[in-house]
Amino acid sequence: MSTNPKIHEVDLGRIVTEYVNLKSLIDKYQERLDQIKKELSSQVDFYGDVDDKGHKWLPAGEHQLKRERRVSINLDNRTAEQWARDKNMWEDVSEEVRVLSEDKLLGKVWDNPELKLELDELYVKKESWAFKVVEGKSYGDE
């Protein structure tokens, strides 16, 4: 329970209304911001100059617009496996990793119901909270 004193009901209603209005305004601003960013990115893609790292630059008044090139490199496991097999080194470069199968564990408990209470102890519960303002409903309606 909160240690804060309860806000007077009139004040609480005013604060909630302000919250709802600000949230709506922020959502509208975010939508417009996303539209502008998309348009500016398109302009940089079309008119920008590419530097030695592949980034695109476009002068814009007192600012520079930049589309930053980011490259990630990941091993293609299927291709690498086939390559290793073709080179006869698959056994040298592969490893077996044993992991618990939750499905098999649950199957065993299903077959042995006396283990059900012990199974419950193997799960970790995580609780989280979300804040929402629900218009026109009492908490008993959900």
Is 120 contained in some domain? no
- Amino acid of residue 134: V
Is 98 contained in some domain? no
> 3-state secondary structure string, 48-108?
CEECCCCCEEEEECCEEEEECCCCCCCCCHHHHHHHHHHCCCHHHHCCCCCCCCHHHHHHH
C-beta of residue 105 within 8 angstroms of C-beta of residue 116: no
Is 139 contained in some domain? no
Is 100 contained in some domain? no
Phi and psi torsions of 56, nearest 5°: -110, 135
- Count: domains in the chain: 1
Is 19 contained in some domain? yes
Whole-number pLDDT of residue 142 = 55
Is 3 contained in some domain? yes
Q: How far is the CA of 73 from the CAs of 39, 50, 51, 83, in angstroms?
A: 29, 21, 21, 18
**pLDDT tens series, the chain, 142 aa:** 456 677 777 788 899 999 999 999 999 999 999 999 999 999 999 999 999 999 999 999 999 999 999 999 999 999 999 999 999 999 999 999 999 999 999 999 999 999 998 998 999 999 998 888 788 766 665 5
Is 34 contained in some domain? yes
Whole-number pLDDT of residue 139 = 64
Which long-range contacts (C-beta less than 8 Å, at least 24 apart) are formed by 27-31? none
Place of tokens 């299927």: 78
Q: How far is the CA of 66 from the CAs of 33, 49, 56, in angstroms?
A: 16, 9, 6
Range of the domain at 65: 1-71
Is 134 contained in some domain? no
Q: How far is the CA of 108 from the CAs of 32, 56, 97, in angstroms?
A: 54, 58, 22
